[in-house]
């Protein structure tokens, strides 16, 4: 079984969304983890956006990458530039992949605009996760 780590800055939004989709699409083909350069808690708007697409991430925890340093991952995927810059090397023989997604938490505007920003990022992550699983697992 493959082990996949998804890294982001705070493990609050994009990496949490990715963890949810990777779990859905990979099923029993992989163990999925997510972490951040630091942890801040799971973003409530990310939880709501994922629920709109049928995935419940409300029980996810926000974790710092140091918590997983002893796991030999097959893939380490960074989903934001900050995580890639702050984690240029992961111990072990993992394949490192970078795919930056827009950060919807930086959206300023109406509630509708923020909701649309979260949905757009969610959909990009969903499509990426589905394709990644098809190509690599």
Q: Which residues are catalytic?
A: 8, 80, 87
Instruction: Check if the beta carbon of residue 26 is closer than 8 Å to that of residue 52.
Output: no
Helix (H, G, I), strand (E, B) or coil at 98: strand
Strand pairing class (95-98; 75-78): parallel
Q: What is the DSSP string of 100-133?
A: ----GGG--S-HHHHHHHHHHHHHHHHHHHHHHH
């Amino acid at each position: 079984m493959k082990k996949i780590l998804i890294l982001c800055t705070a493990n609050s939004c994009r990496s949490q969304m990715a963890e949810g989709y990777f779990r859905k699409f990979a099923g029993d083909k992989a163990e999925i983890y997510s972490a951040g350069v630091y942890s801040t808690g799971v973003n409530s708007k990310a939880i709501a956006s994922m629920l709109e697409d049928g995935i419940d991430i409300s029980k996810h925890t926000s974790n710092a990458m140091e918590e997983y340093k002893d796991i030999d991952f097959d893939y380490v995927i960074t989903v934001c530039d900050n995580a890639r810059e702050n984690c240029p090397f992961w111990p072990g023989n993992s394949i490192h992949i970078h795919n930056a997604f827009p950060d919807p938490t930086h959206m300023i505007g109406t509630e509708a605009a923020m909701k649309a920003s979260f949905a757009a990022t969610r959909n990009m992550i969903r499509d990426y996760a589905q394709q990644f699983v098809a190509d690599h697992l």
